[in-house]
Amino acid sequence: MNDAAKKIKAMDASHPVAICNGDVLFIDIVAEECKDIDIYGVNSYRGASFTDMFQVVKKKLNKPIIFTEFGADAYNAIEKTEDQKAQAYYMVENWKEIYQNAAGLGKAENSLGGFTFQFSDGWWKYGFDKRKNADVHDNNASWENGGYSLDLEPGKNNMNEEWFGICAKGPTNPRGLYDLYPRAAYYALKEAHQLNPYRDGITAEAVTNHFESIELMDAVLRARGDKAALISSETSKNSFKQYESRIYNL
């Protein structure tokens, strides 16, 4: 990775070079071997809090951190049903910490931002190796993570890979493309991102107050309305198609 970073900089010295790592695994090796990288990118799934992530990266690498992948699924493995509020809760808490650790706000000051995983559900994930169920929204929980305690039963999996979208997939159109509708997390993050942590006069207290003002149930209700509207639209379309079919048969 360090050899690659050197070659990149030899071709383009005007852009920083980042590495993408799984959480802080082997970070001591990264510190020793990858001295030419500029940014530590990390895929992290720790639950509502990144805990000591910012401090560890600052101490071990003294480089800025960007979250190349993080998120929460919108399915409750205990209740066996969609749980949009829980997903929104985890995502808002994650982004709050990312903002709080931005430069100039008094904490680790090494946070550059992140990439929410993911925009829409990945229906292809379960059964992918056998090329099965790509058009089915499976609710299989494939791994256990104690950080997501709201639907955790000890010894049982609670992470549903096909439910990580902040937008859900609706029915397909005649071309096989999905209609998407926003989940509560979409609306909650839309509000979260109204804040610019680098704007003049922004303080740590202002960041905390902004995130605490986000009403998750308001986001849930907005998303619920979108889903109902989509279902109603699809029902109307199907009813019209059935009517057309009857007329044609007559």
Q: Is the pLDDT of residue 171 over 80?
A: no
Q: Say if residue 240's pLDDT is above 60.
A: no
pTM for the whole thing? 0.91
Give the percent of the chain with pLDDT over 70: 92
Q: How many domains does the chain have?
A: 1
Chain segment 74-110, per-residue pLDDT in tens: 999 999 999 999 999 999 999 999 999 999 999 999 9
Average pLDDT over residues 113-118: 97
Alpha-carbon dihedral sign for residues 89, 95, 98, 103: negative
pLDDT exceeds cutoff 60 at 31: yes
Confidence band for 244, pLDDT divided at 50, 70 and 90: very low
Q: Which amino acid is at 170?
A: G
Residue 248 has pLDDT above 60, yes or no: no
CATH number at residue 183: 3.20.20
Q: How many residues does this entry show for the chain?
A: 250
Residue 188 has pLDDT above 60, yes or no: yes
Give residue 77's domain range.
2-249
Q: Which residue has the higher pLDDT, 134 or 216?
A: 216
Distances (CA, A) of 197 to 31, 51, 53, 88, 188: 28, 20, 19, 20, 17
**Coil/strand/helix, residue 186:** helix
